[in-house]
A = this chain, B = another copy of it.
Amino acid sequence: MFRFENMSQKAVVLLSGGLDSSVTAYIAHDMGYNLAALSIDYNQAHVRELDSARKIAQHLNVLDHKIISLDLSLFGGSALLTSTNTQIPTKISIDSIGKKIPPTYVPARNTIFLSLALAYAETIQADAIFIGVTAADYSGYPDCRPAFIEAFQTLANIATKKTIEHNLISIKTPIISDSKRIIIQKGQALQVPFQDTWSCYQGKEKACGECETCLLRLKGFNEASLPDPLPYETYPKWYKVH
């Protein structure tokens, strides 16, 4: 018998509120998944990204949105955590990005986030986890690469009651090979409300326009010939306002 409800599978999406995870959530939604969103309050300097996560989750009318607190600043080791004295680098050159792992790297972040998503997916019997990692325009983070995702998939297959009973949880990375331009174009096609996403690591009222994530985002909008609707403190010289 044909059962319509079986066509719609459940998935957990890791939703930071940034551009990449928001576009990823829209892609998952467009693929027909019923989404449960998971955000993590880890004492990131740009905690305001969680307001964006809430807005995107609301736009997508997700089944549930869990925001879990996990104070990674207890460990330290990153400029992105509130506990640190290391500054988030600004006034950097766009060409220097991706050459080495920057101080905004957070130890084992995606390993931790995927583990939490795995727990959530198992609990709600979801078939997939969506994560908006991108290895193309990537900022040098080791846990954004395809090899890392493959290793996590291998682990997940044997790590839980659900998966060892052969109900696998598939790790989906729909934008992993995409440049920021392509991600923005995909988001545009799916009507992602870019004004409700947040990328800037500084997390102030306006985006700084100087940190690595602002630069990558603005470069992407530039190359997609689209305006970034977010307000910026300053724009890099090469940015053309469309």
Seen from chain A, the residues whose Cβ lies within 8 Å of a Cβ on chain B are: 66, 68-72, 74-77, 101, 105-112, 114-116, 118-120, 122-123, 142-143, 145, 147-148, 151-152, 154-156, 158-164
- The residue that A148 contacts in the complex, of B75, B122, B155, with Cβ under 8 A, is B155
Chain B residues lying within 8 Å of A105, measured Cβ to Cβ, are 161
Residues of B within 8 A of A114 (CB): 115
Per the bound structure, the CA–CA distance linking A156 and B155 in Å amounts to: 11
CB-CB < 8 A to A148: which residues of B?
A: 155, 158-159
Number of copies: 2
On whether the beta carbons of A164 and B142 are closer than 8 Å, the reply is yes
Shortest distance from the beta carbon of A28 to any chain B beta carbon, whole Å: 19
Provide the bound-state CA to CA distance between A134 and B111, in Å: 23
A160 to B140, CA, bound (A): 11
Cross-chain contact B158 with A151 (CB below 8 angstroms): yes
**Nearest-CB residue, chain B, relative to A113:** B115
Partner of A159, one of B68, B77, B142, B159: B142
Residues of B within 8 A of A152 (CB): 155
Across the interface, do B112 and A108 meet the contact criterion of CB distance under 8 Å?
Answer: no
Task: Report which of B108, B158, B161 forms a contact with A145, defined as CB distance below 8 A.
Answer: B158
B71, B107, B110, B158: the one within 8 Å of A68 (CB)? B71
